[in-house]
Amino acid sequence: MGRRALIVVIAVLGAVPVLSGLFGIVGEPGMLPAGQSVNATVDSEYRFTNVFWLAGGLLVWWSLRRPQERAAVTRVILAVASLGAIPRLISIAVTGWPHPVFIGALVLELLVVPLVIWWHVRTFTGRPE
């Protein structure tokens, strides 16, 4: 598969944090699948952390404008997203299994994102064009 396909896949993956980050900022944790109302401290932290999620998605999209030159940015953001699986696994160990939507997110973080990083490394190696 070529560069164009990879860029499309990464652009679609980038839509996840952009859309869910925006939703997390203007929504509330109670609006999540199987979510519930929380106190003001948890609500504040939830909205705050979604700014970083949104920023990660926007940075991925920005990096795709010059994919060879900004390859490191793409890989770092994707790697950080993949590392998000670790706290999810901790949460499962501590509190149990989340809603299936978040199990899907865990699968993306553990399997899909590392494969995309691998694909990216194979596709965008060497010096910028």
* C-alpha–C-alpha distance, residues 123 and 67, integer Å: 10
Per-domain boundaries in the chain: 3-123
Per-residue CA distances from 57 to 39, 44, 77, 92 (Å): 27, 21, 8, 25
Nearest to 54 by CA among 13, 31, 20: 20
Helix (H, G, I), strand (E, B) or coil at 104: helix
Q: Are 34 and 98 spatial neighbours (Cβ–Cβ below 8 Å)?
A: yes
What's the rounded Cα separation, in Å, for the pair 73 and 103? 26
What pLDDT, on a 0 to 100 scale, did the predictor assign at position 74?
Answer: 97
Model pLDDT for residues 97-119, shown as the tens digit of each residue: 999 999 999 999 999 999 999 99
Residues 7-52: pLDDT tens digits?
Answer: 999 999 999 999 999 999 999 888 888 888 899 999 999 999 999 9
